[in-house]
Amino acid sequence: MPAGTDHLCIRPRGVFRGAVLTLVFAGVLATAAATGALPRQEPAAGRAEATLRAGEGARDSATVDSAALNRAAADAMADGKSGKQAAEEFVSRSGDRWGAVYDKREYAEFEQALDGTYTGVGLSAGRAADGRVRVTRVQSGGPAARAGLRAGDRLVFVDGRPVDGLSVSEAVALLRGDGVPGSTVALRVERGRAAWTETLRRARLATDPVTVRRLDDGTLMIRVAAFTKGAGTRVRDAVRAAPADAGVLLDLRGNAGGLVAEAAVAASAFLDGGLVATYDVEGEQRAVYAEGGGDTGRPLVALIDGGTMSAAELLTGALQDRGRAVTVGSRTFGKGSVQMPSTLPDGSVAELTVGHYRTPAGHAVDGRGITPDLTAGERAEERAKTVLSGLGGGS
């Protein structure tokens, strides 16, 4: 881990036996940075520190010689070249599809976002059907909301730069800027025939990855968008507060992962202790366990899809293998490799694959995903409600 960094990505007390483990989801920094989401870790003397990191592709992950990587970065710096760029090229040639290299600022954003906060203006952007970049969500109480921006507003310029020719992630990067609270960004906005320029001051904002609501039939719908800090406790508290006869729909669709510790706490809401997952770090077998005292009798259906990744797959596998939930939807993404972060000579951070994790029944996830008990497409939520009703958890 980077020297001098207080990594509290996971809180293993009572949940983990073995290495301090973090599961990191990829793509969020670029494509969802407007609302935040992403790792941190608590050092533990004498323990290996591992990171599970999501990515794309389906082949088995190769591993990288970290000593050779450090030498490549050091040699590049000695020649007056970029150590980070040399490391990126080294990892790219290695075949490690989950390996990645981050500069200090990028890694700091990871740490901040997985802690449940981010620096920004409090809006999400997406490309609409007309091809233009529009506001998709405005966070209540944030700078954008206070300025009166609304979902559907078109973003034309960000700090004088036209956004129509940019990818959404590039537009989001302009909104975030250098990530310094108090810095400003000027937005040219259109709403219908009106157009104006709004200057917003970036602020430190909190994410809200868990939403809980009661459906008309009494079912408790718990939607977990990401396992950032506190998400597991939110799930557990919601289950404990629910009426005894209420079934639970646990919606993990599109959940790109997050902190393994939070997924383990969420598992503890439905399991009375026991195994959540096993994993290996450089050949050494370790395990993740749920805490005791969970609600093991409440009807439970988990909704999953191809966007269910990493920590969300770990939770899905535990609930499915242990017969605690019926899973409905489509096959999950298939990210179950373990990365170990290390600091390079120039201060950048490399995360390299060192192992893989498996579900309680021993099923590998990486490159395979998890097949639901009941396959369902566009009407997955309706099918899940029907299944839950059959289990006695809805009308």
Query: SS3 breakdown of the chain: % helix, strand, coil, rounded to 5?
Result: 25, 30, 45
Among residues 60, 9, 17, 13, the alpha carbon closest in space to that of 278 is found at 17
pLDDT given for residue 235 in this prediction: 98
pLDDT given for residue 35 in this prediction: 30
CA 125 to chain centroid: 18
Among residues 231, 305, 298, the alpha carbon closest in space to that of 263 is found at 231
**376 CB neighbour count, 10 Å cutoff:** 18
pLDDT given for residue 103 in this prediction: 87
Task: Say if residues 386 and 95 touch (Cβ distance below 8 Å).
Answer: no
**258 CB neighbour count, 10 Å cutoff:** 35
CA distance 191 to 61: 47
DSSP string computed for 132-153 = -EEEEEE-TTSHHHHTT--TTP
Q: pLDDT tens digits, the chain, 395 residues: what are they?
A: 333 222 223 222 233 333 334 444 333 323 333 333 222 222 222 222 333 433 333 334 456 778 889 899 999 999 999 999 999 999 888 888 888 898 888 887 777 777 878 888 998 888 887 889 999 889 889 999 999 999 999 999 999 999 988 877 788 888 888 778 999 999 999 999 999 999 999 999 887 789 999 999 999 999 999 999 999 999 999 999 999 989 999 999 988 888 889 999 999 999 999 999 998 887 789 999 999 999 999 999 999 999 999 899 999 999 999 999 999 999 999 998 877 788 999 999 998 888 888 999 999 999 999 999 999 988 999 999 999 999 987 65
pLDDT given for residue 124 in this prediction: 83
Q: What residues are paired with 134 via a beta bridge?
A: 126, 154
CA distance 267 to 290: 6
Among residues 222, 238, 232, 230, the alpha carbon closest in space to that of 206 is found at 230
CA distance 261 to 271: 15
pLDDT given for residue 47 in this prediction: 26
CA distance 240 to 218: 15
**DSSP assigned state of 198:** E
pLDDT given for residue 58 in this prediction: 33
3-state secondary structure of 22: strand
| CA distances from residue 360 to 59, 100, 173, 322, 324 in whole angstroms, order as listed | 22, 28, 39, 7, 12
Region for residue 131 given its phi and psi (left: phi exceeds 0; alpha: psi -120 to 50; beta: otherwise) = left
* Burial (Cβ within 10 Å: 0-12, 13-18, ≥19) of residue 285: exposed
Task: Say if residues 125 and 172 touch (Cβ distance below 8 Å).
Answer: yes
